Amino acid sequence: MGWIGVDLGTQSVRAVLVDADGHVLARASRPLVSHRDGPRHEQDPQSWLDAVDAVLAEVAGPGEGPDVEGLAICSTSGTFLLTDEHGRPVTPALMYDDARAADRRDHIVDADPERWATAMQPTWALPKLHWLQPTARHRLVHSADFVAAHLVGHPVATDTSHALKTGYDLVADSWPQAAFDKLGLPASIFPDVVLPGTQLGRTPDGVPVHAGMTDGCAAQIAAGALTPGSWNSVLGTTLVLKGVSEDLLHDPTGAVYSHRHPDGGWLPGGASSTGAGVLTELLPNADLDALDKAAAPVDAVVYPLTKTGERFPFVAPQAERFTLGNAGDDVATYVAVLQGVAFIERLAFEHLVGLGADPVRSVSLTGGAVRSGYWNQLRADVLGVPVELPASPDPAYGMAVLAASSGGSLTETAGRMVRTDRVIEPRPHDLEELYGEFVAELDRRGYRG
């Protein structure tokens, strides 16, 4: 038996075939092309279908491998298009970071201030949907749902995860139609919503297609961080944290938002504007592997914003990068950035626990930054908890686990299938004073409110 996970990313489509013990039997990928024009970022939905068909043919093979028991798809959070009543595209896909409708955010908030004053962000799907001014003849379709409909041959429901940034009320488990009426958004354009893992239909070959989740949630599943106190920290260009709470965390600042846990409870988290992306700007053309080998603690820290403005663990549109101490050469600059990210990561966990999340027990590290052995150990030291490196941390793997869990517990299924490659224990360190100075500087600049 085997299950397929598909990750509809920004730059590529990836698929994996995984057996019941979590072993990866096959992988495939195909590139995707984006079109950017100022704040606009679009893709051709047909290119998704062509790429998905190709990767599925490659991982499933000509019928000589294991029987495929199910399939699930993840995609970028907030990417969508409009179709007609029959599922045919009438717009390009508006991508998750498309900012063309940023000025519509205030219109959204005015329709329901209590709901969206802190939660709604300018690049979420709902402002862009309002900008498109759909009519009753249109249908809103998230990217993963568009691909699922192609595979089963008819329009499908969306899931609670992909629906979040389109305004779905996860607590009431319904679309907020009273607010949509004020915005002129017809009820008929919105799809039915089901829990992740729900069967949506079958392919012509009889393979069940299950409702998926967004890519961040898919990575969390692949990391096995599905119980309170366990967290997934994804560090690439930016930093994203995902965890579990039994009760919904209420953050008056809007820095933290939560998805529904398929097993019950919530998946809180947030996305920072800090991350490894600063390294390519501060150290262009540097040999990062060589710098990693030469790294040692320094009495300096860079607040590593990739752009103006911070989203998590605090909301500060005015926030700018700064340096404390003397980072005099490339090695010192490199380490100062790594320490800055580790400090923001620790501050983020402190914020989450302050909102009522369980104390941090363990953190799984995923994302491109895990190639840095020095950084992995530094993050364990600063957090003061063990960090784990999952064996197969990609979102496509998470979707294979979700498909395998259909009809049962996702947490138990992940416990059987997800494997840890390495555990790094925290060591004593001399960075507490520098951490305190860093937090004090954030406060002095008014970034933490």
Average pLDDT for 88-102: 95
* pLDDT (0 to 100) of residue 62: 60
Do residues 149 and 87 lie in contact, with contact meaning Cβ atoms separated by under 8 Å? yes
* pLDDT (0 to 100) of residue 242: 95
* pLDDT (0 to 100) of residue 254: 87
Is 243 buried (19+), middle (13-18) or exposed (0-12) by CB count in 10 A? buried
Average pLDDT for 354-371: 93
The class level of CATH for 225-444 reads alpha beta
Q: With a cut of 70, say whether residue 132 has pLDDT above it.
A: yes
Portion of the chain with pLDDT greater than 70, in percent: 99
* Model pTM above 0.75: yes
* pLDDT (0 to 100) of residue 307: 87
Q: How confident is the model at residue 65 (pLDDT cuts 50, 70, 90)?
A: low
- DSSP bridge partners of 166: none
Three-state DSSP class for 357?
coil
Q: Residue length, the chain?
A: 449
pLDDT digit string, tens, across residues 163-207 = 999 999 999 999 999 999 999 999 999 999 999 999 999 999 999
Picking from 108, 113, 196, 191, the residue whose alpha carbon sits closest to that of residue 155 is 191
| C-alpha–C-alpha distance, residues 15 and 59, integer Å | 7
* pLDDT (0 to 100) of residue 164: 96
| 89: CB partners within 8 A, 6+ apart | 45, 46, 81, 82, 83, 146
Residue 348 in tokens: 């983020």
Please give the sequence-ordered ranges of beta strands (E in DSSP) within 203-330, or none if there are none: 208-210, 230-235, 239-242, 257-260, 266-272, 300-303, 322-325
Segments of the chain assigned to CATH 3.30.420.40: 2-213, 225-444
Do residues 236 and 198 lie in contact, with contact meaning Cβ atoms separated by under 8 Å? no
Q: How confident is the model at residue 343 (pLDDT cuts 50, 70, 90)?
A: very high
Mean pLDDT (the chain, rounded): 95
Amino acid sitting at position 211: A
Amino acid sitting at position 195: L
Characterize 187-226 residue by residue with b for buried, 16 or more Cβ atoms within 10 angstroms of its Cβ, and e for exposed. eebbbebbbbbbbbbebeeebbbbbbbbbbbbbbbbbbbb
pLDDT digit string, tens, across residues 1-40 = 899 999 999 999 999 999 999 999 999 999 999 999 999 9
Q: How confident is the model at residue 309 (pLDDT cuts 50, 70, 90)?
A: very high
Query: Please, what is the Cα angle at 3 between 82 and 271, to 5 degrees?
Result: 55
| C-alpha–C-alpha distance, residues 17 and 26, integer Å | 5
Q: Which CATH number fits domain 2-213: 2.30.30.60, 3.30.420.40, 1.10.3720.10, 3.40.50.2300?
A: 3.30.420.40
Q: How confident is the model at residue 279 (pLDDT cuts 50, 70, 90)?
A: very high
Q: With a cut of 90, say whether residue 368 has pLDDT above it.
A: no
